[in-house]
Structure 1
């Protein structure tokens, strides 16, 4: 058996595979010996390439319920999560099942799963957990979507709005149809969770309330959640734009209002769009402000004509001021990116730019000179001896693994 794995065509495929992990190799070997001892190498390679059968075997036959519940709860989070947050969610899930939620059981589950199905990573701001590799999340996606009771209990015990948002994102993504159907069947629980958690602090939601409102309205539009629409629309009372941090969040939430067919949203749509346009065009004094506003209004798709006109006028004014400054020669502190954008707009808009802007030619000449004098970084290539060292390290890795597993 050692001879089989010692061939470079085999061990390099193993150690360089993105799913490579010593415990995965050990589990694959154990499964291979039980099923087909004559084809161990292919079993290991197949499990690395498509490890679904391996995860299914572990979940169905090797894990205790507490560990499975950790994997289920972790699925509702996007990416990594702190151990404290996951533990809180695990307790809540166990409570819905009327199961023991002793801390010892949670820690034991983590010990069982670590380095096989979950990764535990200490960072400066805490200890974080995540699935060990993407194939495990893919398997858990299928596992969760296929169990009505599991989805029901996850929704009933949800502790963060971001978890509902993540489930919704997964349901609308690749192979999400079955999970979307589960959420639709449990729309009452989805609605209750959104209303309960909408205004609660969530460390995974770093934006203002507009992100939550956007997700909630999109879910409501598909699942017809009247109660959620009422909660969200209350956030648009008065001068709601004063609470906005990010322009793109504002655009997203106004778009969500625009597509929502609920009577309350339809009645308030024009006022909300007008307030959003006022906020986006409030300061157009710089090139960055004006062009960003133009882009965001275009993305909005339903911007008032007056707002688009104001932005276009501001851009034309800024271009004229810049070209006038070039009439008397070169300038200092030039923003070359902005100058190039201005020249592109002029070229697209005017057949004879020089007749409109006397400083145009000087600006273009300076821009071309700047481009020609830029230092171009050289391509960085690995030296051949470095590649040789990499392959040698890989060979040592596979030999150590085989020795550890005592393969004969």
Structure 2
């Protein structure tokens, strides 16, 4: 089978030799967005070309979905060259061919990833419901993704090490590549786990030898690593990476900005020691000229571009975009959204201007295209650390608008969200509840700069905050330093200028401490599933207050009272042990905390840790605490209790208990030789199962890097865009 380049083909797209030695040819017409009459007219133009060709078999192939009568009409045009209407192949027929020849599907990444993920979600409906937002993001990404050498290289890295850390500059396509790696894993049967807060979520979700792929996007924060890296987070992350890299049934995909990774490695010992073989640096050079053209083509394909603009792109206008020094996938995405004004006659000129002056994109849209209420909504969204439920957003938005004297209403809020969606705001769902977050880190950087440079705006946000987390965001955020056409009074990574408002911040923390949190985690209890506040949100609130300047903290007696309150919750088994340990350690370092309060919360913590040792993670936390706080390593009086726990775990789990490595380690440290031998037997069985599973995975075809053309001729790309213009007729 021969196939020929796009362009003038003389009526031949495919050519093959029959067993008799005769020649067969085919003409291919894409035309999925055109009417049947347009396709029929294009087919009619092919008829005269056949008079000058020698062949004995002819087929006409289109991606349009045809009915019986439509096939008959095309057949009537070519009846003297065809045996029957079956020689007219529609989109349905092509789908059936692909189904009969799975090796073809496997060679085309987007084809088999799309079908593989659809099959996975169809057979895992309970997981699809819990991961609806992730599923929607993956499906949107698949539509516009262009396969490049970066995908093959990252896939190979993930296959070899089970961990892939994708770093790069903003807008280069890190998140898109990460999502495609997740889709590739899903297509092979891995269950996705999205980590949103910290690596403890991944530890909690890890399940034995179950196939799982963990996605930790912006794992060091979207603007600075201080957003995510709490105490010992680097050590826990390093431990998790080590765990995953030794398991065939687990994959871990992380993304971060290169400069944040560089800064974090300088300040965090464990990150500096992280195996650099896991680091995949995504650079613009990873995209060939043809890759860039295809990325533009894919986005234009899904956009409602005017015919005149399409002709301008096909007549060489594509080179003004593809060869622009500021080309980036994120800018291509932005300039092909409906909000960019796709139908205007000057579309191509504005596209190129946006590439030349990307710093003006957000500023122009914010200043010129949004109402006062819409701008108010955006700065309120920016005051939250992550996506926020619409009901919580409404409360915060109404409070801010009332304080600033801006008229608003429920209808106005909904209308503002509709205007901002896809440009400044991304809408999603948490369970059945809608939620909103910033569309991209670039939007966050811009809005933080707006807030930092507007004294009245910053004051209004502080004084009207309805949630503790809004104030914590404002108190700890760092500006992006990308003033975007504005006269800036702050530099990159400066804190927001809150010196004049610390009393208001402290009063706000006092007002909101006992209030609800916009943060939610998925909690499953029996048949009940829902999103609830994180277990340790009160501990985290107190930890934040201890780390702030004294001027920003509430009254000392108030903090002491809240510490007692949280300790009383620990006595009831409420809270999150890792954060409770951090809090007790932090309190021990502060002179302004009363001595009796320090003793009170320490006794409460130790009683909680020692009195609830039902899971291996409970033992890990307690034994680590004893080691750090008292310097006691595996005290002998706990050996019998741990032996009973280990035996219970062996009896409770089939084929083997989770955290098996931890059980073995502690059994050795306690000197429990018989238990250690039993646990090692289970570990050997696990290794045999992992090896067997590795053999199964190795036999499953996976996406592999394919050499592509680093350079494409103008004729190749022009032919591609001319086809696009025709098919959008």
Same fold (TM over 0.5): yes
Q: Relative to total residues, which structure has the larger helix share, 1 or 2?
A: 1
Confirm or deny that 1:211 pairs with 2:540. Answer: yes
Q: Quick one: structure 1 residues 344 and 157, their matched pair in 2 at CA, closer, same or farther if it must change by over 3 Å? A: closer
Written as runs of structure 1 = structure 2, the 5 A alignment for 1:52-67 is 52-67=359-374
CA distance in 1, matches of 2:601, 2:653: 42
Written as runs of structure 1 = structure 2, the 5 A alignment for 1:274-353 is 274-284=603-613, 287-297=616-626, 301=628, 303-304=629-630, 308=632, 311-313=634-636, 316-317=639-640, 335=656, 340-344=661-665
Deviations 1:345-366 (A, max 9, x none): 677x69xx9xx94786676566
Unaligned segments of structure 1, at least 5 residues: 326-330
CA distance in 2, matches of 1:320, 1:44: 66
CA distance in 2, matches of 1:129, 1:230: 37
Cα distance, 1:271 vs. partner? 3.2
Q: Quick one: structure 1 residues 365 and 129, their matched pair in 2 at CA, closer, same or farther if it must change by over 3 Å? A: closer
SS in 2 for 1:130: strand
Cα distance, 1:179 vs. partner? 3.2
Confirm or deny that 1:27 pairs with 2:340. Answer: yes
Match of 2:575 among 245, 253, 265: 245
Confirm or deny that 1:233 pairs with 2:544. Answer: no
Cα distance, 1:138 vs. partner? 1.4
CA distance in 2, matches of 1:370, 1:124: 34
Q: Quick one: structure 1 residues 116 and 282, their matched pair in 2 at CA, closer, same or farther if it must change by over 3 Å? A: same
Written as runs of structure 1 = structure 2, the 5 A alignment for 1:165-176 is 165-171=472-478
CA distance in 1, matches of 2:333, 2:630: 55
Cα distance, 1:318 vs. partner? 6.2
Instruction: Check the 8 A contact 1:5/1:41 in 2, yes or no.
Output: no
Deviates more, 1:338-347 or 1:144-153: 338-347
CA distance in 1, matches of 2:544, 2:364: 36
Confirm or deny that 1:87 pairs with 2:414. Answer: no
Q: Quick one: structure 1 residues 265 and 143, their matched pair in 2 at CA, closer, same or farther if it must change by over 3 Å? A: farther
Match of 2:505 among 190, 193, 199: 190
Q: Quick one: structure 1 residues 28 and 142, their matched pair in 2 at CA, closer, same or farther if it must change by over 3 Å? A: farther
**Partner of residue 328, structure 1:** none
**Partner of residue 598, structure 2:** 269
Q: Quick one: structure 1 residues 31 and 135, their matched pair in 2 at CA, closer, same or farther if it must change by over 3 Å? A: farther
CA distance in 2, matches of 1:112, 1:324: 59
Cα distance, 1:225 vs. partner? 4.5
**Partner of residue 687, structure 2:** 371
Instruction: Check the 8 A contact 1:73/1:90 in 2, yes or no.
Output: yes
SS in 2 for 1:211: helix
Deviations 1:157-204 (A, max 9, x none): 111112112223424999875334x23331011011111111122343
Deviations 1:16-75 (A, max 9, x none): 5487145558639899969x94xx66544456xxx4320012222332222111111111
Cα distance, 1:148 vs. partner? 2.0
Instruction: Check the 8 A contact 1:211/1:249 in 2, yes or no.
Output: yes
CA distance in 1, matches of 2:641, 2:619: 9
CA distance in 2, matches of 1:272, 1:213: 13
CA distance in 1, matches of 2:464, 2:408: 13
Instruction: Check the 8 A contact 1:277/1:297 in 2, yes or no.
Output: no
Instruction: Check the 8 A contact 2:380/2:397 in 1, yes or no.
Output: yes
Instruction: Check the 8 A contact 2:428/2:436 in 1, yes or no.
Output: yes
Confirm or deny that 1:118 pairs with 2:425. Answer: yes
**Partner of residue 446, structure 2:** 139
Give the aligned length: 369
Confirm or deny that 1:10 pairs with 2:322. Answer: yes
Instruction: Check the 8 A contact 2:445/2:479 in 1, yes or no.
Output: no
**Partner of residue 382, structure 2:** 75
SS in 1 for 2:635: helix
Q: Quick one: structure 1 residues 342 and 250, their matched pair in 2 at CA, closer, same or farther if it must change by over 3 Å? A: closer
Confirm or deny that 1:258 pairs with 2:575. Answer: no
SS in 1 for 2:333: coil
Cα distance, 1:139 vs. partner? 0.9
SS in 1 for 2:434: strand
CA distance in 2, matches of 1:363, 1:105: 61
Confirm or deny that 1:179 pairs with 2:179. Answer: no
Cα distance, 1:85 vs. partner? 2.6
SS in 1 for 2:427: strand
Q: Relative to total residues, which structure has the larger strand share, 1 or 2?
A: 2
SS in 1 for 2:473: helix
Match of 1:381 among 695, 699, 702: 702
Instruction: Check the 8 A contact 2:506/2:551 in 1, yes or no.
Output: no
Cα distance, 1:333 vs. partner? 5.4
Aligned alpha-carbon RMSD (Å) = 4.7
Q: Quick one: structure 1 residues 123 and 342, their matched pair in 2 at CA, closer, same or farther if it must change by over 3 Å? A: closer
SS in 2 for 1:20: helix
Cα distance, 1:291 vs. partner? 2.4
Match of 2:465 among 158, 183, 197: 158
Cα distance, 1:381 vs. partner? 1.5
Q: Quick one: structure 1 residues 204 and 334, their matched pair in 2 at CA, closer, same or farther if it must change by over 3 Å? A: closer
